Amino acid sequence: MSFGRCKGFTLLELAIVMAIVGLLTVSIVGLYAAVAKRQREAKTIKEMECIREAVLGYYRNFLVLPSPDSGYVVPIDDLELPPTARTDEIYTGKYYAYVASNVGETLKVDGQSIGNTALVLISSGVNLEFEEENSDLADGEYTQDGTTANFDDILIYLSANELASSIAWSREIDEEVSVLNQAGRLLAENDDDGDGFVDEDPGGENCGVEDLPGNCDAITHWDLVTGVQSLVNGGLISNPDHLVDPWGTEYCWDSVNHEFYSAGPNKTDEGCGGDDICP
């Protein structure tokens, strides 16, 4: 019995295989780099949004935007932010550009006015350079969408209209939370028999048996307040306008501090964190 000779790869075949492996490696590395870049961008945008929310909170309290620190730097002390909020640690490591205008020069983004009370926050991107309209931070004109192939600045802003709206719904929330907090205290102090109703049996003699007017037992029973519905059940709130915040979400109850608060624009209760609007 005879066997044919076993043939190995020729040099040409090996070269072709190595070329294919090389191309696949380059493609995978390039894909990984692109995914990693997008992840860094997403984290940077999230950090910038946190700064934006801090500025909104400051404006609601003081009706003015905090001025930048020297060199268009994020004013972390005014905003009560950590030192890391000044720089784009994840994406570039360079300072964010923070430009604020308080009823002064009109700021524009991509040619559109965002008002003479407005804010622009910019990350320079991986090339560490502010590009096109963003290169001169003092001229009041900026861009989110550059025309050059290498444009990678990230820009977010607050317009004058957004600031005005934030004041309007902030006042609405303050008023409604005040009503809810008063009702909550009434329930906690006046429902001495703990049945969820207030003073329904006036004239009795024993606290906790017949529910007398006022805080008969001198104890504030906060455990009776479990949320907006407990106030409705107790007959203390009947106006549906007081039940939900401007985004249609039922007001949340803080059982530790005994106060109601709004879950904020994202409609998610984050325990007075995130974008929750708390007293």
- In this structure, the answer to whether residues 226 and 251 fall within a common structural domain is yes
What's the confidence (pLDDT) of residue 42?
A: 83
- In this structure, the answer to whether residues 134 and 173 fall within a common structural domain is no
Q: Specify the range with the lowest mean pLDDT, choosing from 30-39, 100-109, 240-249.
A: 30-39
Segment 117-131 shows an average pLDDT of 88
Q: Which residues contact 225 (CB under 8 A, 6 or more apart)?
A: 184, 187, 188, 231, 253, 255, 258
pLDDT band of 253, cuts 50, 70, 90: very high
Please tell me the total count of domains within the chain.
2
Segment 191-205 shows an average pLDDT of 75
Q: How far apart are CA 121 and CA 72, in angstroms?
A: 9
- Location of structure tokens 């006022």: 214
Instruction: State yes or no: pLDDT of 145 exceeds 90.
Output: no
- In this structure, the answer to whether residues 169 and 153 fall within a common structural domain is no
Instruction: State yes or no: pLDDT of 241 exceeds 90.
Output: no
Q: pLDDT tens for residues 209-235?
A: 777 777 888 889 999 999 999 999 988
Instruction: State yes or no: pLDDT of 264 exceeds 90.
Output: no
- In this structure, the answer to whether residues 171 and 248 fall within a common structural domain is yes
- In this structure, the answer to whether residues 116 and 203 fall within a common structural domain is no
- In this structure, the answer to whether residues 153 and 60 fall within a common structural domain is yes
Segment 92-117 shows an average pLDDT of 89
In terms of Cα–Cα distance, which of 277, 254, 273, 252 is closest to 264?
277
What's the confidence (pLDDT) of residue 22?
A: 72
Segment 154-175 shows an average pLDDT of 90
The residue segments making up the domain with residue 135 are 43-158
The helix/strand/coil state of 250 is strand
Segment 133-154 shows an average pLDDT of 88
What's the confidence (pLDDT) of residue 28?
A: 65
Q: Are 211 and 203 in contact (CB under 8 A)?
A: no
- In this structure, the answer to whether residues 73 and 108 fall within a common structural domain is yes
What's the confidence (pLDDT) of residue 156?
A: 94
Most confident of 24-33, 58-67, 122-131, 199-208: 58-67
- In this structure, the answer to whether residues 140 and 48 fall within a common structural domain is yes
pLDDT band of 186, cuts 50, 70, 90: very high
More confident residue, 18 or 92: 18
